[in-house]
Structure 1
Amino acid sequence: METTVGSANWTKFPNCVYPPVEGLPGAPTPDTLEFKDPSLLRFDIAPDPETECHQAPIANAPVVMPVANSTALIVQLALDNGAVLIGKANLDQFATGLVGTRSSYGPVHNIFNENYISGGSSSGSAAAVGIGWASFSYGTDTAGSGRVPAGFNDIVGYKPTPGLISSNLTFPAVRSVDTNTIFTLNAADSKYVADIITMYDESDPYSKPIADNMTCTGIEAPLEFKFGVPREIVNPNLNLYMDKRLNDLWANDTGAKEQYLDAIERMKMIGGEMVLFDYKPWEDVAKLLYGGASVSQRFLTYGNYALDNRPTGAPITMNPDTDQLVDPTTYLILKNAFYNKATRAYADEWAINLI
Structure 2
Amino acid sequence: MEKREKIDILSAIGRVISEDVISGINIPGFARAAVDGYAVIAEDTYGANQREPRELKVIGKIFAGDTSKIRINRGECIQIATGGAIPDGADAVVMVEHTSLDDDTVRIMKPVYPGENVSSEDEDIAKGGVVLREGDVLNPAKIGVLAALGINSIDVYALPKVAVIPTGDELVPIGGKLEYGKIYDINSYTLASLLQGSADVHINEIIEDSEDKIKECIKSLKDMDYIIFSGGSSVGERDILIDIIEEEGEVFFHGIALKPGKPTIFGKIRNTLIFGMPGYPTSCLTNAYTLLLPSVKKKARMPYIEKKKEVILAEKIVSTIGRHQIYTVEVEDGKAYPVFKESGAITSMSEASGYIEIPANIEYLPAGSKILVKYF
Q: Indicate the TM-score class for this superposition, using the shorter chain for normalisation.
A: under 0.3
Which structure carries more strand by proportion? 2
* Structure with bigger gyration radius: 2
Compare the two structures and name the one with the higher helix fraction. Answer: 1
TM-score (norm 2): 0.26
